[in-house]
Structure 1
Amino acid sequence: MNSIDWVFIFDDSGKDFPMDKIKFKQYFLIITYGITLFIALTNIKSVFSVLGRLHSIAVPFIYGLVLAYLLNMPYKSFRERVFKPLEAKGKTSKKAAVALSILSTYLAVIITLAFLFRFIIPQLISSITQLIQNIPFYLETLENWAIYLDDTFGVEQMIEWYDSDFWSNISNRATELLTQILPYVGDYLMGLTSGIYNWLIGLIISVYLLYGKDLLIRQMNRITKAFCPDKYFVRTIEISHRANYIFNRFITGNVIDSLIVGIICFIGMNAFQMPFPLLVSVIIGITNIIPIFGPFIGAVPGIFIILIVDPVKALVFMFFILALQQVDGNIIKPRIVGNTVGLPGLWVLVSIILGAGLFGITGMLLGVPTFALIYSLLRDEVNERLKEKGNEILE
Structure 2
Amino acid sequence: MKVKGTNSFNMRAILLLIGITVGVYLGFKYLLPLILPFVFAYFLAWIVRPVTESLYNKFKIPRIIGGSASLLLLIAVFGTCICLLINVLIKQAILFIRNMPIYLDLLAGKLDKICSHCDKMFGLDGGTMRSTMDENLLQTVNRVKTQVIPELTQHSISITIQMVAIVGIMLIILVAAILIVKDLPDYRKKLENNSLYQDIHKVTEKLSEAGTAYLRSQLIIMVTIAGICILGLSLIKNEYAALAGIGIALMDALPVLGSGLILVPWAIIMLITGRIYSAAILITTFLACQIVREVLEPKLIGNRIGIKPLFTLIAMYVGLKLFGVVGFILGPVGLIIIQTVYQAILEREERVAVKDEVHLNE
Over 3 Å counting, the alpha-carbon distance change for 1:309 and 1:71 in structure 2 is farther
CA drift at 1:235: 1.0
TM-score with structure 1 length normalisation? 0.65
Which amino acid counterpart does residue 176 of structure 1 have in structure 2?
N
The question of whether the paired residues in 2 share the 8 Å contact of 1:75 and 1:101 is answered with yes
Q: In 2, Cα distance between the equivalents of 1:337 and 1:129?
A: 43
Residue 351 of structure 1: CA displacement? 0.7
Q: Are the counterparts in 2 of residues 127 and 279 from structure 1 also a CA contact under 8 Å?
A: no
Q: Could you say which residue in structure 1 is the equivalent of 2:233?
A: 269
Aligned to 1:300: 261
User: How many Å apart are 1:251 and its aligned residue?
Assistant: 2.4
Alignment match, 1:195: 162
Q: After superposition, what is the alpha-carbon deviation per residue over 1:94-130, rounded to whole angstroms, capped at 9, x for unaligned?
A: 4443232112111112212321232223323433564
* Secondary structure of residue in 1 paired with 2:157: helix
1:210 to 154, 166, 177: 177
TM-superposed CA distance for 1:321, in Å, is 5.8
- CA gap 1:217/1:74 in 2 versus in 1, 3 angstroms: closer
In 2, the alpha carbon distance for the partners of 1:167 and 1:235 equals 62
Q: Where does residue 130 of structure 2 map in the other structure?
A: 164
SS in 1 for 2:61: helix
Which runs of 5 or more structure 1 residues have no equivalent in the other structure?
1-53, 389-395
Going from structure 1 to structure 2, the CA distance change for 1:386 and 1:84 (only over 3 Å counts) comes to closer
**C-alpha contact 1:64 1:201 (8 A) present in aligned 2:** no
Whether the 8 Å CA contact 2:319–2:331 is kept in 1: the answer is yes
**Amino-acid identity (%):** 14
Q: Secondary structure of the equivalent of 1:288?
A: helix
**Cα distance, 1:157 vs structure 2:** 6.9
Counterpart contact for 2:63–2:181, Cα < 8 Å = no
Q: Is the 8 A contact 1:62 1:202 kept in 2?
A: no
Tell me if 1:283 matches 2:252.
no
Partner in structure 2 of residue 332 of structure 1: 296
Q: Which amino acid aligns with 2:143?
A: L
Cα distance in structure 1, aligned partners of 2:108 and 2:180: 56
Distance in 2, matches of 1:175 and 1:310, equals 31
- Structure with the largest fraction of helix: 2
Aligned twin of 1:135:
104
Tell me how far apart the structure 2 counterparts of residues 84 and 316 of structure 1 sit (CA, whole Å). 53
**Structure 1 position 68 matched with structure 2 position 32:** no
Greater CA drift, 333-342 or 363-372: 333-342
Q: Which residue does 2:310 correspond to in 1? A: 346
Q: Which residue of 2 aligns with 1:241?
A: 205
Cα deviations by residue, 1:136-182 (Å, 9 ceiling, x for unpaired)? 531321332564x669xx74479x99822134335513422322311
Amino acid at match of 1:263: G
Counterpart residue number, 2:83: 114
Could you give the per-residue CA deviations for residues 253-283 of structure 1, whole angstroms, max 9, x where no partner exists? 3223212212211111222345643333222
- Partner AA of 2:229 in structure 1: C
Partner of 2:196: 232
Residue 199 of structure 1, CA deviation:
2.2
Query: CA-atom RMSD, angstroms?
Result: 4.3
Task: Tell me the secondary structure at the aligned position of residue 253 of structure 2.
Answer: coil
Other-structure match for 1:251: 215
Q: CA deviation at 1:213?
A: 1.6
Distance in 2 between residues matched to 1:92 and 1:161, nearest whole Å: 77
Read off the aligned partner of 1:334 and give its amino acid letter. P
Contact 1:354 1:367 in 2 (8 A): yes
Amino acid in the other structure paired with 2:79:
I
Contact 2:67-2:182 within 8 A present in 1 as well: no
Report which structure shows greater RCO (CA 8 Å, sep ≥6): 2
1:260 aligned onto 2:229: no
Query: What SS is found at the alignment partner of 1:92?
Result: coil
Structure 2 CA distance for aligned equivalents of residues 345 and 325 of structure 1: 19
Q: Which moved more, 1:316-325 or 1:260-269?
A: 316-325
2:66 to 80, 83, 97: 97
Could you tell me how far 1:359 is from its partner in structure 2? Answer: 1.4
By how many angstroms is 1:183 displaced? 2.0
Moved more, 277-286 or 211-220: 211-220
Per the TM alignment, residue 368 of structure 1 is displaced from its structure 2 partner at its CA by 1.8
Provide closer, same or farther for how the CA distance between residues 299 and 134 of structure 1 changes in structure 2, counting only shifts above 3 A: same
The answer to whether the 8 A contact 1:289-1:365 is kept is: no
Post-superposition offset of 1:299: 4.5
Q: How much does 1:335 deviate?
A: 3.5
1:329–1:117 distance in 2 versus 1, CA, 3 Å: closer
Gaps of 5+ in 2: 1-29, 354-362
Change (3 A) 1:156 1:270: farther
Aligned length: 319
Given candidates 322, 333, 358, the residue that maps to 1:358 is 322
Alignment partner of 2:337: what SS? helix
Which residue matches 1:26? none
Q: Residue 350 of structure 1: CA displacement? A: 0.5
